[in-house]
Amino acid sequence: MSELGVRLRRVLGAAPTLTGVTDHGVAVMMRTPRFSDADTWREVRLADQALIEPFWDHSTLSWAERHTRRAWIRECVSARMRMRAGGGLHTVIDVDGRLAGQCDVWLDGFHGRSELGLWVGSRHARAGVGTTAIRLAIGHLFGELGIERIAAPIAVGNSATVKLAQRLGFTREGVMRNYMRVGDGRRDHELWSLVRDDWVSAR
């Protein structure tokens, strides 16, 4: 295993706690998901179904069925297992002690590459919480973990996330046609990326 792979296994038994402050003065913490987040996760996700579901992985289950306490516990356990194996970095975005969103990163330590996904509840959508969370994740990936590339597939039509990617210096590489099933069917996705050299030179 590469040196990076060994480091990932050691570091990612649980997510690191990352903290920052938005331009609006909102304190943001990224931390390991907890079983106790279940009720807030369900509340926020059900309230924002119309905003999230069209761009989320397709399922034959209803939105409510996908957001039970049991589903959250399964998600937490899977996240822990993936982090212990060095295959991911899975965090809750915490504002004022409550779950406000999630940031998930899938890691390929051997090749030094990753793929990032994020959602933030509508209550915090215009407060810079998502921007701050992604900046924290980028700094950790390129800094502590030595990742070389971050990819971000974004469903065509998800204009808010495209604007976020642009704001953070991601480059649009092209369109992946018929890429994956989200919402109620397959959808093209734009591929956005950020590489370590560009991030370093822009600092």
pTM greater than the 0.85 cutoff: yes
Long-range contacts of range 163-171, CB-CB < 8 Å, 24 or more positions apart?
A: 164/130, 164/131, 164/134, 165/192, 167/131, 168/131, 168/134, 168/135, 168/138, 168/194, 169/194, 169/198, 169/199, 169/202, 170/194, 171/198
Q: Note the pLDDT of residue 1.
A: 44
27 found inside a domain = yes
108 found inside a domain = yes
46 found inside a domain = yes
CATH number at residue 87: 3.40.630.30
Q: In the chain, how many domains are there? A: 1
Q: Note the pLDDT of residue 8.
A: 56
At a CB cut-off of 8 Å and minimum separation 6, what does 145 contact? 4, 7, 8, 11, 89, 107
Q: Render 64-113 in DSSP notation, one character per residue.
A: TTTSSHHHHHHHHHHHHHHHHTTSEEEEEEEETTEEEEEEEEEEETTTTE
159 found inside a domain = no
187 found inside a domain = no
Beta bridge partners of 13: none
Can you read off the two tokens belonging to residue 180? Answer: 């994956």
106 touches 85 (CB < 8 A): no
148 touches 113 (CB < 8 A): yes
Residues 108, 15: Cα–Cα separation, whole Å: 16
202 found inside a domain = no
143 found inside a domain = yes
Where the chain has pLDDT below 50, the residues are 1, 6
Q: Note the pLDDT of residue 10.
A: 54
What are 77-130's pLDDT values in tens digits? Answer: 999 999 988 899 999 999 999 999 999 999 998 999 999 999 999 999 889 999
Tell me the pairing of strands 185-195 and 149-155: antiparallel
The parent domain of residue 121 ranges over 3-152
89 found inside a domain = yes
Can you read off the two tokens belonging to residue 134? Answer: 């992604």
Amino acid at site 169: G
